[in-house]
Structures are given as C-alpha cells and as structure tokens.
Amino acid sequence: MPDFKDTGLVLSCHRHGENAMILSVFTQHHGKYLGLLRNKTLPQPGTFVSVKWHARLAEHLGNYTYETINPFSIRYLDDSLRLAGLSTICQLLDESLPEREILPDFFHQLLTFLSHLEEENWIILYIQLELQLLKILGFGLDLTKCAGGGDPNNLTYVSPKTACAVSQEKGEPYKEKLLILPAFLYKNAPVQTQDIKNALMLTGYFLDLHIKKIPLTRQRLLKYL
C-alpha cells in the first residue's frame, strides 16, 4: 500500500459530503497532497502538522490522520498583518502548486519563513516566497541584469511584458509603463516601508497574471503596512 508519514503545512480544509473534509497539505517529502479527513476537530490553514496518509492505491484520494505540531494560525489571531501573510501564502500554494510534486528547496524556504514569522523581517521572507513561487510555476522574474544592456548595479524597474529588470538610465523614458523594482530584491540595500509596498505590488502584478484566484487577504498586506 502507498501509505506514508510526513510533516507539512495545512493549506485548506473543505467539506466533502456530510461527514468528511478534504485536507490539502504541503508536505516535505510528497509535495502538495490531498486526503479525506474524518476527525471531528479540524486543523486551521496555517497549522504545521504531522500526517499519516493511507490508501489502497496511489491514485486514490486516500485518508488523512494528523497531529498538530505548531498552530501558527492560532498564534497570530491578534496580529492582522502576520495572519494575513500566513493565510495568503497558504491560499496561494493551495491554488497554484501542482499536486504531488516534491519541492524540497521551496519547502525549506517555507520553513524559514514560518520560523521567522515573529521577527521584524518576516515580510521580506514572505516576498521572497512569492518570487520563488512564480519561478516554480515557470514565470520567474529576471533580476540579474538589465534587459536593455544598462548598469546591472542600478536596476530600478521591471518590464511588465518580459518580467526582466531594467536599469534607471534605460528605463527612464518608459518609466510610466514599467514596474518599480526595490533594490533589496536584487542586492543588499536598506528597506523602507515603501520598498515593501513596491515589492508586493511587483509580485502581485505577476501573480495576478498567472494565478487564477488571488486571495483577498493579500490586499490586507498593503492595507496593514
């Protein structure tokens, strides 16, 4: 039987019939995996869990049992900004990640984000998750050089058409049509609140292009900053 044990982050939990729920978990060793859950107590999205998955055949939906390791979503009920960030990343991953594709590097990056959620720089780690998610989906931004051959150390814009960076000099004549690129996204640079907002607007533009359903909670990130 294709049973397994794993750990992961609960992405969603939706009712299935009268007595069951479909649980979506982004697991460390099996990727995003769905399964039926018949527990009376249900894990909230944003909860880190240990799971057991059981089915007769690998292609079946299977059944989940779980134990809570860290209830991140409950811990941040009184923190609107962090709760919005956690809820948003869960919904984005649930909506966009391919099922059963193992993504160890991205899972490790997610763990880093979760472990630093109490710290001041957590929002930067969140933005980096969105950038990496776009890359996984095949829509990564190229922030390594200027698309027009300009100074790679003075990248200021991103083309909405090509997702490539543009230097200040090359982009100045077209700046009204370009997206702002905060310097901290491609080099070590100070970060101000406006830089965070610009970074969220940048990744948000490409998420809107390539993901069908963007969580409403993502709008709160800009609202609460």
For the chain, domain boundaries:
4-73, 104-143+181-224
CA angle 173, 178, 183 (to 5 degrees): 100
Does 144 or 40 have the greater pLDDT score? 144
Q: How far is CA 114 from the centre of its chain?
A: 11
Among 79-83, 109-113, 217-221, the least confident range? 217-221
Instruction: Note whether 36 and 66 are within 8 A (CB).
Output: no
pTM of the model: 0.94
Better-scored residue on pLDDT, 224 or 12 = 12
Mean pLDDT of 46-70: 92
| Three-state SS at 134 | helix
User: What is the reported pLDDT for 210?
Assistant: 94
Q: Are 160 and 178 in contact (CB under 8 A)?
A: yes
Rounded Cα gap, residues 202 and 157, in angstroms: 10
pLDDT of residue 74: 93
SS3 148: coil
For 194: left if phi > 0, alpha if psi spans -120 to 50, otherwise beta; the answer is alpha
Count the neighbouring beta carbons within 10 Å of the beta carbon of residue 157.
Answer: 23
Q: Is 33 helix (H, G, I), strand (E, B) or coil?
A: strand
Q: Give the model's confidence band at 14: pLDDT under 50 very low, under 70 low, under 90 confident, else very high.
A: confident
Choose the weakest-confidence range: 14-23, 83-92, 101-110, 202-211.
14-23
Each residue of 117-162: pLDDT tens digit? 999 999 999 999 999 999 999 999 999 999 999 999 999 999 999 9
Choose among 189, 223, 187: nearest CA to 204: 223
pLDDT tens, position by position, 158-213: 999 999 999 999 999 999 999 999 999 999 999 999 999 999 999 999 999 999 88
3 state SS of 20: strand
Helix axes 217-224, 193-210, angle to 10 degrees: 160
pLDDT of residue 60: 83
Q: What is the mean pLDDT of residues 215-222?
A: 90
The CATH number of the structural domain formed by 4-73 is: 2.40.50.140
Q: How many CA atoms lie within 13 A of 142 on its CB side?
A: 14
pLDDT of residue 55: 87
Amino acid 104: pLDDT: 97
